[in-house]
A and B are shown apart, each in its own frame.
Chain A
Amino acid sequence: MCDKEEKHTAKRPLAPCGSDEHKKPAEHHPAPAQSGPEEPYPNAAAAPGQTRPSSPASEEDAAAQERSHLTFRKGLRDGLPICLGYLSVAFTFGMLVAQGGFPPWVAVLISMTCFTGTGQFAGIALIVSGGMYLEMLVTTFVINVRYLLMSLSLSQKIEKRMSGLQRALLSFGNTDEIFAVAMQQEGKVGARYLSGLILTPYLGWTLGTLLGATVTGFLPLALRSALGIAIYGMFISIIIPPARKLKSVAVVLLIAVAISCLFYWTPVLNRLSNGWVVIICAVTASAFGAWKFPVKEDRQP
């Protein structure tokens, strides 16, 4: 990261979580960027809620919602790239289930009720091998324990006035990618935007699973194995651009990656299961980031 970029970020009250959305509309907007209600804040400092930090939260929320550019439609649109990426990942999952000798509805049922990547892959492997219920419970919990941290993070990003029912429903869609895209939005995120952002990827996930479970036989093994990298490609496309822009994010990312590699290649440490490793990496790297590069007070992270 060069000095110029650092100065740039120091001047603007930027949170590490994105906010460069406006500069790269092509990223999550397949359609050409529109002027008008879509992008009302030419720069981050002008967003509502920051100019009046003393006003009550509910008023802030209401005002933000009124002028919000985060509509249901924008949610659907931002969800589209995730949806297409999910098609290929879920396709791989569907194939795996079919290879395990299960009918397609089993694969689709798992995708529709779990809506998670890693957990489903581990779960179906256990079912195929006839694992115990307790094993399934512990494995899935360890893989999913990161969601506790992510949901806590999301709880600070959503509008305060969101009802308990809305929270309960929308939390179902808090996948890694949807979470990351929601966190990169400017200001608070409401129920409408989130439902859009969840709906398109959910359809892609379900449809991809169905296709994978039904057309497995037609694909050569080489392609089936190469498809396994798709989900990681999505992760990379989400984390690299903010890391390029903000030194703080780049440092946090490098620490997390370094610890993760350490756990993978060190003889005794590599016995720890992946779910716990992710938690250890995330807590250490985020704590270091919070200590060295605290986010500006007046910004919602």
Chain B
Amino acid sequence: MNYTYVLISILIMALVTYLPRMLPLVLFRKTIENRFIKSFLAYVPYAVLGAMTFPGILFSTSPDGGFSPVYFLGGLAGMLVAVVLAFFKRGLLLVAVSSVAAALIAQELLGLVL
């Protein structure tokens, strides 16, 4: 195995992950007074997580990332369970573990049928 290649790759990944996190926080020290920008930044967490979750979650249990009915429906089952539990304000861990369990059970059952 070519470890020089692996280590340089890891270094690139680490730097390109760290710099976008670090630069705005260190360089930008003003308080934004503009109401629009303040509001905009307040909505960013929800918009980012929402866009990352949907529709990605539907394909998240496929081993190769491709489409297959069993994995798609498994992802759908996991998604529904997670949404319902989160709606009733269950904790982060319970929601995550339950969605894994739901996806697993759905895929096993569907595997018998399809």
Contact = CB atoms under 8 A, between A and B. Distances in A.
Interface residues of A, number: 117
A295 B35 contact: yes
A287 B40 contact: yes
A149 interface: yes
Interface residues of B, number: 79
A228 B35 contact: no
Given A224-B63, A290-B40, A232 B57 contact: yes
A261 B54 contact: yes
Interface string B90-111: 1111111111110110011001
B27 to A, nearest CB: 9
A260 B38 CA distance: 23
A135 to B, nearest CB: 10
A237 interface: yes
A225 interface: yes
Contact of B60 (A114, A180, A232, A290): A232
A85 interface: yes
18 contacts: A101-B1, A102-B6, A133-B12, A136-B13, A137-B16, A158-B25, A171-B18, A225-B107, A226-B103, A229-B57, A229-B82, A232-B57, A232-B60, A233-B95, A233-B98, A236-B53, A237-B90, A252-B43
Interface of B: 1, 5-6, 8-14, 16-18, 20-26, 28-29, 31-32, 35-57, 60-63, 71, 74-75, 78-79, 82-83, 85-87, 89-101, 103-104, 107-108, 111
